[in-house]
């Protein structure tokens, strides 16, 4: 197994700020508020609120007239922290929400997926595993993650790691809808397929209230970056 860090930053860029530059990395960028133009090696894309971009190029981020709040995931080689905050941009800031160590099998081929998961009030993700690790962040509502003998509740803006192979039970608040945004690393064979597997046979036919929206997938290399 090869050590990596999957980290999540929140970037806030002022309205009409000059371009903000980031070096190459395996990353996903989700637009929480506002809008942003993302320029990369082979072109550019405009992303409004509630959309996402995935890539490995160095990029320029150009916020729109209302500015932009971004959640930015990066998969970095090695177990030691490396700089990831926005630099040389007085009208922009970065907050590290989570830097989580993960291990990936270099014999496997991998992809990065960014998606949205939505629950109605009181919805539950029954005990399950996934095919790879990922970092989630709550957009609205509240979700409790019960795994490895511990239980933690995550409200808006709070992030957590799921290892993939460790079973998780995830009830949500009955007070309102709950939504989280997720970036995780999966075998390429999971392309266009759900990665979830239910652990208990009795859960197989239970109601599954959660809804999914995949923003994008991208094949990634585990070579040093």
Residues 67 and 137 grouped into a single domain: no
Of 154, 150, 143, 147, nearest in space to 130 by CA: 147
d(CA 76, CA 71): 16
51 domain residue, yes or no: yes
Q: What is the CATH number of the domain that holds 121?
A: 2.60.120.10
Of 109, 12, 111, nearest in space to 56 by CA: 111
133 domain residue, yes or no: yes
Beta bridge partners of 54: 28
In eight-state DSSP terms, residue 203 is: G
Q: How many separate domains does the chain show? A: 2
Name the residue range of residue 215's domain: 110-220
- The predicted structure's pLDDT at residue 184: 96
Residue with tokens 């999957």: 6
d(CA 18, CA 70): 16
What H or E segment, with its residue span, contains residue 127? strand 124-129
177 domain residue, yes or no: yes
Contacts of 80 (CB under 8 A, 6+ apart): none
In eight-state DSSP terms, residue 80 is: S
- The predicted structure's pLDDT at residue 73: 98
- Count of C-beta atoms within a 10 Å radius of residue 76: 20
Residues 26 and 52 grouped into a single domain: yes
Residues 122 and 72 grouped into a single domain: no
Residues 40 and 136 grouped into a single domain: no
For the chain of 225 residues, list the mean pLDDT of each consecutive stretch of 10: 94 97 97 98 97 97 97 89 87 96 95 98 97 98 97 98 97 98 97 95 89 97 77
225 domain residue, yes or no: no
Contact 16, 65 (CB under 8 A): yes
- The predicted structure's pLDDT at residue 192: 95
Contact 36, 70 (CB under 8 A): yes
- The predicted structure's pLDDT at residue 224: 62
């Amino acid at each position: 197994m090869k050590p990596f860090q999957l980290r999540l930053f929140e970037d806030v860029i002022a309205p009409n700020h000059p371009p903000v530059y980031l070096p190459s990395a395996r990353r996903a960028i989700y637009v929480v508020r506002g809008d942003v133009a993302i320029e990369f090696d082979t072109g550019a894309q405009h992303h409004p609120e509630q959309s996402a971009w995935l890539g490995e190029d160095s990029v320029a981020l150009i916020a729109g007239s209302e500015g932009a709040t971004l959640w930015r995931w990066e998969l970095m080689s090695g177990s030691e922290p490396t700089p990831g905050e926005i630099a040389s941009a007085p009208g922009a800031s970065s907050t590290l929400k989570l830097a989580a160590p993960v291990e990936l099998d270099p014999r496997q081929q991998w992809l990065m997926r960014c998606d949205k998961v939505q629950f109605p009030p009181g919805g539950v993700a029954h005990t399950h595993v996934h095919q790879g690790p990922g970092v989630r962040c709550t957009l609205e509502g509240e979700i409790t993650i019960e795994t490895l003998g511990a239980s933690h509740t995550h409200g808006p803006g709070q992030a957590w790691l799921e290892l993939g192979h460790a079973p998780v039970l995830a009830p949500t608040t009955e007070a309102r809808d709950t939504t989280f945004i997720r970036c995780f690393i999966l075998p390429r064979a999971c392309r266009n397929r759900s990665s979830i597997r239910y652990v208990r046979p009795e859960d197989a036919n239970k109601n599954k209230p959660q809804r999914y929206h995949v923003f994008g997938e991208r094949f990634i290399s585990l070579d040093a970056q």
